[in-house]
Amino acid sequence: SQTRSYAAPGDGTIPAAKKKYIPSTGTYPLGFKAGSAHVGVKASNTRFDDLALIASDAPCAGAAVFTTNKFQAAPVTVSRDLLKSRKGEGIRSVIINSGCANAVTGKGGIEDAKLMGRETDQAFVKDSNGEDDGQSRSIVMSTGVIGQRLPIQKIVSKIPTAYYNLGETHEHWLGTAKAICTTDTFPKLLSKTFTLPGSQEEYHIAGMTKGAGMIHPNMA
């Protein structure tokens, strides 16, 4: 397995020079929540959250770009198919695990990614007694070591916890940004407000990203 030689972002050892990049406040989009949970995808991770959930209160529009690497990981295939089949509409959430990339894992990996999305969908259905059209509504992402199967039962058992932990405060967003980190030394989170020429409203945009190595994206 991949060993982490860097300190984990959540362990208080963020390099002093990087602390200036971590926001202490934020302005987050209405109707979105973020949350995380500890799974222990990597057996060596006994403390830090490694499952992240970002959710809209109501079904919404979604879009994505994906790696053009020919060995596309299972969550890439599953999420692309989801957006295609739903025409980018009716999306509810993004569920992400760190610690294992679910890449080059064959048909089993595809099933794992689908199950991860389905169980996330179920959390929303159960909570609201809402309608379940049987179609996926959750985009799935994974990051970490390549070539290993996800500990999928451990992950799905913690999806309700991530759902329960959803919230709209800065701490929720920052905690979720930490949960997607791998060898990153600091969580990457930004937010801002903006306006559009044809509206009076003030809009919000927030984003989190992760990545420190194996970085030369060519997404489409």
Partner 1 sequence: TLLGVICTDAPVSAGPLQAALTSAITKSFNSISIDGDTSTNDTVAILANGAAGGKPIDSTASPDFAAFQKTLTDFSIDLAKLVVRDGEGATKFVTIRVTNAASYKDAHRVASTIARSPLVKTALYGKDANWGRILCATGYAENVEGVVPEETSVSFIPSDGSAELKLLVRGEPEQVDEARAAKILEAEDLEIKVQLSEGKGGEEAVFWTCDFSHEYVTINGDYRT
**At a CB cut-off of 8 Å and minimum separation 6, what does 23 contact?**
170, 174, 189, 190, 191
> DSSP assignment, residue 90?
S
How far is 155 from 82, CA to CA, in rounded Å? 20
Closest approach of partner 1 to the CB of residue 42, in Å: 12
209 belongs to the binding site for partner 1 (CB under 8 A): yes
19 to 48: interface string for partner 1, x by CB under 8 A: --x------xxxxx----------------
71 belongs to the binding site for partner 1 (CB under 8 A): yes
Among 16, 24, 43, 58, binds partner 1 (CB under 8 A): 58
Among 26, 40, 88, 167, binds partner 1 (CB under 8 A): 88
- Which CA distances in Å does 198 have to 195, 201, 202? 9, 9, 11
Chain positions 119 to 158 lying near partner 1, rule: CB under 8 A, are 139, 141-148
110 belongs to the binding site for partner 1 (CB under 8 A): no
Q: How many residues bind partner 1 (CB under 8 A)?
A: 87
Quick one: which H or E segment has residue 84?
helix 74-85
Closest approach of partner 1 to the CB of residue 61, in Å: 4
203 belongs to the binding site for partner 1 (CB under 8 A): yes
Q: Which stretch binds partner 1 (CB under 8 A): 37-45, 122-130, 154-162, 179-187?
A: 179-187
> DSSP assignment, residue 32?
E
Among 8, 41, 51, 54, binds partner 1 (CB under 8 A): 54
Closest approach of partner 1 to the CB of residue 133, in Å: 17
CB contact at 8 A, 32 and 139 = no
How far is 148 from 219, CA to CA, in rounded Å? 23
How far is 176 from 179, CA to CA, in rounded Å? 5
